Amino acid sequence: MDLHAADLGTHVSRRTVLRLAGLGALTAGVAACSNGNGHDHGMGMGSSDTTRPSTDLPGAGSDFAQPAELVSKDGRLEVTLEAAPYMVPWNGGTRYALAYNGMVPGPTLRARPGDTIVITLRNGLDQPTNLHTHGLHVSPEGTSDNIFHMIDPGASLTYEYVLSKDHVSGTFWYHPHHHGFVAAQVSGGLAGAIVIEDELDDLPTISATTERLLVLSDPRLGADASVLSVSTSEQQNGREGDAALVNGVYQPMIMAEAGTVERWRIVNASASRYYRLRLSSGSLTQIASDHGRFTEPVSVDTLLLTPGQRAEVLVPLAEEGVITLSTEAVARGMGMAGMGGMGGGDLSPAADLLLVHVMGTKAPPPLPTALRAAGPLDTIEPDSERRVSFGAMGMGNGEFVIDGKAFAGDRVDISADLDTVEDWVITNNSMMPHPFHLHVWPFRVIDRSDGSTPDPGWRDTVNIPTGQSVRIRIPFRDYGGTTVYHCHILDHEDLGMMGVIDVR
C-alpha cells in the first residue's frame, strides 16, 4: 500500500479486491443474513427518499474495496486534492457525487508523528469550499487547520500541517468546513481518512492483524446535483441518505481466513446519521476511539458512532461462516426522549453494513491485553469550569444555537488560556441529541448526568443526549489560536450550531 504521493495526479483508483474460489457457494448464506434489515433505508422521517424503490440498491456481497493510500516519505506527505463533481461507479452504472480526485471516499493519507502533511486543495466545485483535518492536534492558525479560509470556485490553497513528534497515533479524517455548505459537501462524498501510525502499531498483537479502513457514509443516490438539496425539515433533522455504504460500496464482503484477527479503523463520515454497530456473532474489541489508543482493550456488544467519531476495533475470526457488521436503529429524531427507543422519529434506521466470510476453522491468536501506559494527561485535574448549552429551550430556529447564539465567524464566544485545563459541562436542552465536536484540542469524557460510564479514551466528538449533560476535560496545550466547536450533525452546524473559541 505504498503509493507515492506523486502518483496522485493520475487519479489512481486502486482498490483492494479480494477474490477467492468458491464465492458462488456463499450466495445462499449472504442472502439469508441480509434479509433481516438490509433494506430498511427508506424510512427516514421527512425524507424524500420514501418513494425511491429499494431496487436502486445493488445486491449484498460485492468486493470489499478501500481507498487508495498516500504514504509519507522521509517525514513529508505532499498531495493535491481536487474537489469536484464526479460520476462514481454504482450498481453497474454511475451515480452523482462530489469527490476528491474522483474517489469516494477520498484517498487515505498515512503519516507518522513528526511528519509534515502538505495538501494543495483545488476547488472544482461551483461553490466555496475549504479543508479541515478533523481530530488532528495541530495549529489552527495560518495555513494549518484554519477553517476560516475560503476557497472560491476555480481557486486553490495549500495547507501545511506540522505534526508534533508526540502526536498520537489513530484514525482521523479530512472534509470541507465552509459554513453553510458543509452538510451537502460531506454527504455528497467529500471525505477521506487520515491514519497516523506510531510504535503502538508495531505491538506484535496489533501488527499481526489484518488492518482495514471502513469509512461509513450514506449518500443520496441519483444522477445529478439534486441529491445535494434537501427540504427545510430534512435539514433540521439532519439529512440522511438512501443507503449506508462502507468505502462507497453497498454491503461489501470481506473474504478472510479463520485464525486471523481483523482490525478495523471505522470513520463515521455521514453528515447526520448515527450508527450503533454490532456483529451478528461475537463482540467488538475496541482499542481506540477518536484520539488515540486506549490503555487497554474494551469489549463491547454495541458501539455508538455519531457523525465525526471514529473507533478502532479487533474482530478475531475462529469459525467458518458469515459474520455481519450491522447498525441498529438509533432513534435520534426530533421529540424522542433519549436514544434507545425504536418508535417515533425513526432517523438512523437499522442496516447491514459489511459481511465477513470466514473460511476454515482455526483459533485466532490472543488479543492484546495492554496497549499503552497511562500518561500524565490521562489523570490531569481542571483549573476551571465552564458551562455550554446546546440548543435553546424554544423551538424553530432557536433550536440550532449554542448558548443562545447562532454562529458568527467574527465573534469570539469562548476565550480560554493556553496551558490551562478546563472542564466543560455541556447541556442539551433541545429536542434531539447532538454530537458536540471541538477542533484541535482532544478531551476526556469525565462523567454524564445519566450516570453512564465515562469513555475510556480521548475524544474530539461526544454525543450529548436530549435533556442530559456531559462533562468533558480539555487540556488547552501546544497550540493557541482561533477555531470552532460545533454540532457534528453537519446540517445543524450549517444552521448555526457552532461557536468560535480563541485560545492564547
Residues that bind Cu ion (CB under 5 A): 134, 434, 439, 487, 489, 492
Q: What's the N-to-C CA distance of the chain in angstroms?
A: 40
Which of 199, 215, 468 minimizes the C-alpha distance to 338? 468
Distance CA 498, CA 488 (A): 9
Residue 239 interface partner, choices ligand C2O, Cu ion, none, CB cut-off 5-8 Å depending on type:
none
List of residues 6+ apart from 13 with CB closer than 8 A = 68, 102, 103
CB nearer Cu ion, residue 279 or residue 336: 336
- In the complex, the smallest distance separating the C-beta of residue 357 from ligand C2O, rounded to whole angstroms, is 33
CB nearer Cu ion, residue 279 or residue 489: 489
Residue 8 interface partner, choices ligand C2O, Cu ion, none, CB cut-off 5-8 Å depending on type:
none
Rg (CA), the chain: 21
CB nearer ligand C2O, residue 38 or residue 135: 135
* 411 burial via Cβ count (<10 Å: 0-12, 13-18, 19+): exposed
- In the complex, the smallest distance separating the C-beta of residue 179 from ligand C2O, rounded to whole angstroms, is 10
Q: Are 400 and 491 in contact (CB under 8 A)?
A: no
CB nearer Cu ion, residue 358 or residue 487: 487
Q: Are 167 and 113 in contact (CB under 8 A)?
A: yes
79 three-class SS = strand
Which chain residues interact with ligand C2O by CB under 6 A?
A: 132, 134, 175, 177, 308, 437, 439, 484, 486, 488
**Per-residue cell: 327:** 447498525
- In the complex, the smallest distance separating the C-beta of residue 107 from Cu ion, rounded to whole angstroms, is 19
* Other beta carbons less than 10 A from residue 453's beta carbon: 9
Residue 486 interface partner, choices Cu ion, ligand C2O, none, CB cut-off 5-8 Å depending on type:
ligand C2O
Distance of CA 421 to the CA centre of its chain: 26
CB nearer Cu ion, residue 357 or residue 434: 434
List of residues 6+ apart from 375 with CB closer than 8 A = none
Distance CA 50, CA 376 (A): 51
Residue 276 interface partner, choices ligand C2O, Cu ion, none, CB cut-off 5-8 Å depending on type:
none
CB nearer ligand C2O, residue 252 or residue 496: 496
Residue 220 interface partner, choices Cu ion, ligand C2O, none, CB cut-off 5-8 Å depending on type:
none
CB nearer Cu ion, residue 149 or residue 362: 149
Q: Which residue has the cell 436530549?
A: 466
Q: Are 341 and 333 in contact (CB under 8 A)?
A: no
- In the complex, the smallest distance separating the C-beta of residue 299 from ligand C2O, rounded to whole angstroms, is 28
- In the complex, the smallest distance separating the C-beta of residue 180 from ligand C2O, rounded to whole angstroms, is 13
- In the complex, the smallest distance separating the C-beta of residue 435 from ligand C2O, rounded to whole angstroms, is 10
- In the complex, the smallest distance separating the C-beta of residue 39 from ligand C2O, rounded to whole angstroms, is 29
Residue 110 interface partner, choices ligand C2O, Cu ion, none, CB cut-off 5-8 Å depending on type:
none
| Residue 69 bridge partners (DSSP) | 108
- In the complex, the smallest distance separating the C-beta of residue 306 from Cu ion, rounded to whole angstroms, is 10
CB nearer ligand C2O, residue 90 or residue 172: 172
Residue 175 interface partner, choices Cu ion, ligand C2O, none, CB cut-off 5-8 Å depending on type:
ligand C2O
H helices of 208-309, in order, are: 232-237
